[in-house]
Structure formats: C-alpha cells, structure tokens
Amino acid sequence: MLVRVGGTPLLRLAQCVQNPKVRLYAKAEWYNPGGSVKDRPALNMIQEGERSGKLTRGKTLIDATSGNTGIAYAMFGAALGYEVELVIPANVGPERKRIIEAYGASVRESDPLEGTDGARGLVQSLVARKPEKYFYPDQYNNPANWQAHFQTTGEEILHQTKGAVTHFVCGLGTTGTFVGTSRRLKQANAAVQSIAVQPDGPFHGLEGLKHIPSSWIPGIYDPTLVDGVEEVATEEAYAMVKRLAREEGLLVGISSGAATVAAVRIAERLEAGMVVTIFPDNGTKYLNELFWEK
C-alpha cells in the first residue's frame, strides 16, 4: 500500500477556461490510498521519524489535524503497527472522524472556534505531560512535510507538464504542499509563479485552509516563495465545487473549490500559459455540508 502513495494524475479543466492558449490542470490527489494529498507528507514524516529513532515500537503517534492528515496517519499507523491519537477541531465533519476511528485511531476534539491552532495547543499540552509516550511529528513545523512535496508532487508536475507549467496555484494549510512544490518548480524554472490561496477572512468555512494574517504561522512556511496571494470567500468555493461537479464531472472537496476559484482568476489574466493547481481530496467527505441543498 505504501508504494501507491504519489503518482496521481493531472486532469485538464477544459470548461473553466475559454482562452485556448491558456491551459488549466489540477492534480487529483484523491488517487492516493488514503484519499488525499496528505498521504505524501504523513508517510514521509513517519519514515523520517523511524530513520531518526524518534518513532519506535510502543510509542503513540500524536498530531493536530483538520482531518486528511489524520486519516493518513491512522491508515499508516494501522499498516505499520503504531498507535495513533489525533486532536481535531470539534466542528470538523463527521465523515473524517469516522474514517480515522475506522482505522483504529483515537480522536480528541478541541475548541471549534480555535481551529487547528487550538488543536495544536492541546497536542502540545498532552505531549508535555507524557513526552515518553508520544511521537509528535508536528506537521506544521516538520521539514519532512514540505520535503515530501519537493521530492514527489513538484517532480511529478514537471514530468507531467514536460516543464511547461508557468503558474502554480495552491491553498495554504500547513503550507507544506505550497512550499515543497514551489521550491521544486522554481528550482527547475525560476520564472514559475507561485500563487498562494487563503480564505478572505479569519472566520470561514474552508476547512484545511488558513487565513495567514490572523493565524499562527507554520514554521515551515516560506513567504519568499509567494509571488501573489488570492483570497477566496467561502461561498465562492462552495459554488465552484458545484460547478466542477456539474460542468467537469469532478466531485471535489471544498479546498479544491477554493483553489479552482483562484486558478481561474489567474488563468483569465493570462494571454498564454499553463496553470497547475492541487485538488487535495474529493467531495465524498463533504456531502453533509448544507451548501449542497441551496
């Protein structure tokens, strides 16, 4: 199962851009075995923990998550024989919690108003009480997070586009996907523009994304990689999720909708070019969201 992580397809969004000289593509990360882009960093952080000796038999893996990294941790924990304990904001959808528990991991809920920043604080207090019990990868500060994307996601995009990508558009959560992929693309071609996507304010419904100006900033974040920022309203992302399902035949998650809103904006400003974005997961974990009924 571990060898199935990565190698996800690049899909063209043919209906979203009308200019024939501008192509828009998205990496379909739900093709990973755990169903999201977070399989990549979760596996790399676990393997790096084993290599460093920080993760050993008998230790419990613990981290804060909004869901997808937690699912990946739980899946790999079950496959590799590690106990997993996760802290998740209480307002995260029930599907993700249920999937995590199905893999045998335990879930603690944190204050929903504090988001993943609050979940992270609770994890730190638990680890401080029993440091000998836990392996804490700390996805927000662990370089193995962004390195996974430097080694795989960015490399795959270069191969799949034959180096023709001109703009990379990506949501900011832990910031690992943005940082690692941008570094690899810019290493290959310094002219590639990296556009960061974030919610348009601190109170939003874009699970997995951070409003950087009002949040604790992850230690792995590198603002020097940012060539532009696109802010997306929750309602815009919801509308795009519906549009992608009904015009492209792609059922995607809410953060994918937000990324597409931003990517379409960039594409519409270009005379020619190739825009690539990331679809972190599909829409099956979000079908209880009320926006589907409107």
Predicted local distance difference test score (pLDDT) of residue 224: 98
167: left (phi over 0), alpha (psi -120 to 50) or beta: beta
221: tokens are 């974040």
pLDDT band at 117 (very low <50, low <70, confident <90, very high): confident
The 3-state DSSP class for residue 38 equals coil
- Cα–Cα–Cα angle for 140, 25, 181, nearest 5°? 30
Does residue 28 surpass a pLDDT of 80? yes
pLDDT band at 31 (very low <50, low <70, confident <90, very high): very high
Predicted local distance difference test score (pLDDT) of residue 19: 95
Give me the mean pLDDT over the 193-199 stretch.
98
Tally of CB atoms within 10 A around 51: 10
Q: Where are the alpha helices (DSSP H) in the chain?
A: 39-52, 68-80, 94-102, 115-129, 143-148, 154-160, 176-188, 234-243, 254-269
| Overall pTM > 0.85 | yes
Domain ranges of the chain: 2-31+143-293, 39-135
Over the stretch 158-176, which tens digit does the pLDDT of each residue have? 999 999 999 999 999 999 9
Q: How many helices (H) does the chain have, and how many strands (E)? A: 9, 10
Does residue 294 surpass a pLDDT of 80? no
Provide, rounded to the nearest whole percent, the portion of the chain with pLDDT above 70. Answer: 100
pLDDT band at 213 (very low <50, low <70, confident <90, very high): very high
Give me the mean pLDDT over the 282-293 stretch.
90
Pairing of strands 22-28, 10-12: antiparallel
Does residue 36 surpass a pLDDT of 90? yes
38, 97, 210, 285: which one is catalytic? 38
- Are the folds of 2-31+143-293 and 39-135 the same? yes
Does residue 270 surpass a pLDDT of 80? yes
36, 110, 182, 255: which one is catalytic? 255
Q: Dihedral angle at the C-alpha atoms of 135, 253, 6, 174, nearest 10 degrees?
A: -40
Region 2-31+143-293: CATH code: 3.40.50.1100
Residue 162 annotated in active site: no
Strand partners, 277: 26, 169
Over the stretch 126-139, which tens digit does the pLDDT of each residue have? 999 999 999 999 99
For helices 39-52 and 68-80, what crossing angle results, to 10°? Answer: 50
Q: Fold for domain 39-135?
A: Rossmann fold (3.40.50)
Provide, rounded to the nearest whole percent, the portion of the chain with pLDDT above 90. Answer: 90
Give me the mean pLDDT over the 26-34 stretch.
98
Name the residue type at position 43: L
Give me the mean pLDDT over the 46-62 stretch.
98
Q: Dihedral angle at the C-alpha atoms of 119, 121, 124, 128, nearest 10 degrees?
A: -130
The 3-state DSSP class for residue 196 equals strand
10: tokens are 């690049």
Over the stretch 230-247, which tens digit does the pLDDT of each residue have? 999 999 999 999 999 999
- The b/e string for 138-168 (b: 16+ C-beta within 10 A; e otherwise) is bbbebbbbbbbbbbbbbbbbbebbeeebbbb
Predicted local distance difference test score (pLDDT) of residue 225: 98
Over the stretch 65-114, which tens digit does the pLDDT of each residue have? 988 999 999 999 999 999 999 999 998 888 889 999 999 999 999 998 88
Predicted local distance difference test score (pLDDT) of residue 135: 98
* H/E run at residue 61: strand 60-64
Predicted local distance difference test score (pLDDT) of residue 192: 98
Does residue 208 surpass a pLDDT of 90? no
The secondary structure of 66-108 as a DSSP string is: SSHHHHHHHHHHHHHT-EEEEEEETTS-HHHHHHHHHTT-EEE
109: tokens are 């809920």
Mean pLDDT (the chain, rounded): 96
pLDDT band at 284 (very low <50, low <70, confident <90, very high): very high
Q: Dihedral angle at the C-alpha atoms of 6, 38, 202, 197, nearest 10 degrees?
A: -10
Residue 38 annotated in active site: yes
